[in-house]
Amino acid sequence: MLTVIEAINLTTDFFTKKQIESPRLNAELILSSVLGLKRLDLYLQFERPLNESEKTKYRELIKRRSEGEPIQYLMGFTEFYGEKFLVNSDVLIPRPETELLVEKIISENFTLEEIKILDIGTGSGNIPIMIKKNIPNAEITSIDISEKAIEIARKNEEIILKSNKINFLNLDIFDEEKLKSLEKFDIIVSNPPYVSEEEYPNLQIEIVNYEPKNAITDGKDGIEFYRQIEKNCMKLLNEKGKIYLEIGKDQENSILNLFDDDFFYKEKVKDYSDIYRILKLVRK
Ligand code: GLN
C-alpha cells in the first residue's frame, strides 16, 4: 500500500537525486493532478492510499518529470497574471517576466479610448487575453506562425474570457505579402523568440527538449524579429503609435539602435533579476 504522504516523500527524495528544482512542490503538484485534488487538500488526506490506476498514472508522470519534461506541460496548464492558461508542447510556457509586459500596457490607462492592438507571436494567447480582460475596449489582432498555437490561444480565450473577440490569425511576421492584409494599429506588442542560435543549446533541458524551438530562438543572433518589426512598423502603426517589447539580456542597446530614426525611446523596465526586459517606444 502506498499512501499520499509516502508517495510525496519518496518522490521528493527521487527528484532531489535527479536535481529537479523544488522537488517537493513538483511531487505534490503531480500527485494532486493524478488524484484530482487541490494541492493543499493533499494535506488533509495524508493517509489516503493510492489505488492501482492512480499509482500507474503517478509513476508515469514522475518518470516524465524526472526526464526533464516541464511540470506545466504535465499538468496541462500554467498560471499567468492570476489566470490558468492551457499549455502543451505546441506553445511556449508563459513566463513571469511577460507579466511585466502586460502590466506595463494595462497601467497606461488606455481604457477610455478605442484602441487597436497587434500582438506578434501569440503562443498560448496570454498577452492578448490578459490585455483584453483588463482593457475591454481594446480591439486586438494576435498573430502566430503556428496554427496549433492559435488553437490553444482560442481555447484559452473561451475559458478565461468566455468570449471570442480577439482576432487570432495564423500569420508569419516574415510573410510581408500577408502582412499587407492587416490594418493599422495604435499599439504593437510582442515577446518574440530572442535567444540566439548560439546560446540556444546552453538553455535548460526543460526548454531545449520540450518547448517549441521556434518560440525560443530566431535561429540567428536573437534580434531578427525586432529587425522585422522595425522594417514593417511604419506600415502597421498609426501616428503616435507605440511599441512594447519584451527583450533578452543585454539586447536593449542594439534594439533601441534599430528604432532610432523613427521612434523615441520612452522607457525600459527591469525584471526580477535586475535585467532590462521591457522596452517602450513611441513613434516620432
Ligand atoms: N506571447 C507568448 C508569450 O509571451 C509566446 C511568445 C513566444 O512564443 N515567443 O508567452
Residue bearing the CA closest to ligand 1, atom 3 = 94
Looking at 67, 97, 122, the residue that finishes a domain is: 67
Q: pLDDT per residue over 7-41, tens digit each?
A: 999 999 999 999 999 999 999 999 999 999 999 99
What spatial distance separates the first Cα and last Cα of the chain, rounded to whole Å? 70
Residue bearing the CA closest to ligand 1, atom 4 = 191
Is residue 109 predicted with pLDDT exceeding 90? no
Mean pLDDT of 44-59: 97
| CATH number of the domain residue 257 falls in | 3.40.50.150
Instruction: Tell me what pLDDT residue 266 has.
Output: 83
Residue 84 CA, distance from chain mean position: 12
Instruction: Tell me what pLDDT residue 11 has.
Output: 98
Is residue 113 predicted with pLDDT exceeding 80? no
Mutate to test the pocket of ligand 1, among 126, 130, 145, 148 (most ligand atoms within 8 A of CB): 126
Q: What is the Å distance from ligand 1's center to 123 Cα?
A: 5
Instruction: Tell me what pLDDT residue 42 has.
Output: 96
Residues 155 and 256 in one domain: yes
Number of domains in the chain: 2
Is residue 87 predicted with pLDDT exceeding 90? yes
Structure confidence at residue 66 as a pLDDT band (50, 70, 90): very high
Q: pLDDT per residue over 209-218, tens digit each?
A: 999 999 999 9
Look at residue 76 and tell me if it is in a domain: no
Residue in the block written with cell 485534488: 37
Look at residue 166 and tell me if it is in a domain: yes
Mean pLDDT of 223-243: 96
Residue bearing the CA closest to ligand 1, atom 2 = 123
Look at residue 73 and tell me if it is in a domain: no
Structure confidence at residue 69 as a pLDDT band (50, 70, 90): very high
Residues 48 and 178 in one domain: no
What is the percent of the chain where pLDDT is above 90? 96
Structure confidence at residue 5 as a pLDDT band (50, 70, 90): very high
Among candidate residues 103, 2, 132, the one with its CA nearest the CA of residue 62:
2
Residues 135 and 210 in one domain: yes
What is the percent of the chain where pLDDT is above 70? 99
Q: Is 217 helix (H, G, I), strand (E, B) or coil?
A: strand
Residues 44 and 154 in one domain: no
Q: pLDDT per residue over 35-48, tens digit each?
A: 999 999 999 999 99
Is residue 111 predicted with pLDDT exceeding 70? no
Instruction: Tell me what pLDDT residue 236 has.
Output: 97
Is residue 114 predicted with pLDDT exceeding 80? no
Pocket of ligand 1 (CB under 6 A): 92, 94, 98, 121-123, 126-127, 191-193, 215
Average pLDDT, the chain: 96
Structure confidence at residue 112 as a pLDDT band (50, 70, 90): low
Report the C-alpha gap between 109 and 124 in whole angstroms. 25
Look at residue 29 and tell me if it is in a domain: yes
Structure confidence at residue 200 as a pLDDT band (50, 70, 90): very high
Is residue 181 predicted with pLDDT exceeding 70? yes
Mean pLDDT of 75-102: 97
**How big is the CA angle at 187 (ends 183 and 188), to the nearest 5 degrees?**
85
Look at residue 233 and tell me if it is in a domain: yes
Looking at 16, 40, 67, the residue that finishes a domain is: 67
Q: Which three cell numbers stand for residue 125?
A: 494567447
- CA distances 115 to 99, 135, 173, 204, 241, Å, are 20, 9, 21, 38, 10
Rg of the chain over CA atoms, in angstroms? 21
Looking at 18, 42, 67, the residue that finishes a domain is: 67
Helix locations, 23-175, DSSP H: 23-35, 52-66, 71-75, 96-106, 126-134, 147-161
Q: Is 14 helix (H, G, I), strand (E, B) or coil?
A: helix
Is residue 172 predicted with pLDDT exceeding 80? yes
Mutate to test the pocket of ligand 1, among 95, 122, 169 (most ligand atoms within 8 A of CB): 122
